[in-house]
């Protein structure tokens, strides 16, 4: 059994993630987690000196537009409202 993860830590992680294991699934999940963590141990051995860190894995840029003020001063339908004042809808007071 791995020194990185054990049944107690797996149960803790499952509780945090609100995962309930069926009978027999816990042992399989423990083996899978051990295999994944062993893979990360292998990756830690790779020499990465001189490799620049990536900040997203792609050179694509955001295509969202910049926020811009739009003068949307079209007040249609105000004339259909029972009461208006200076182009705004006038409603009765809610609070005294």
Q: Where are the domains of the chain?
A: 7-44
pTM: 0.47
pLDDT in tens, 39-76: 999 999 999 999 888 777 777 777 888 888 877 666 67
pLDDT recorded at residue 73: 66
pLDDT recorded at residue 64: 85
pLDDT recorded at residue 77: 74
pLDDT recorded at residue 42: 92
pLDDT recorded at residue 52: 85
- CA distance between the termini of the chain: 71
Average pLDDT in the chain: 85
- CATH 3.40.190 for domain 7-44, yes or no, is no
pLDDT recorded at residue 93: 87
CB atoms within 10 A of CB 30: 19
| 68 exposure class (CB count in 10 Å sphere: 0-12, 13-18, 19+) | exposed
**Pairing mode, strands 88-89 and 84-85:** antiparallel
């Amino acid at each position: 059994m791995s020194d990185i993860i054990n049944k107690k830590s797996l149960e803790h992680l499952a509780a945090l993630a609100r995962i309930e294991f069926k009978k027999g699934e816990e042992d399989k999940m423990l083996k899978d987690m051990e295999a994944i963590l062993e893979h990360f141990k292998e990756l830690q051995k790779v020499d990465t000196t001189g490799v620049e860190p990536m900040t997203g894995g792609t050179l694509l840029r955001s295509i969202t537009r910049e926020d811009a003020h739009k003068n949307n001063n079209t007040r249609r339908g105000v004339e259909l409202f029972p009461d208006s004042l200076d182009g705004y809808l006038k409603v009765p007071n809610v609070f005294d």
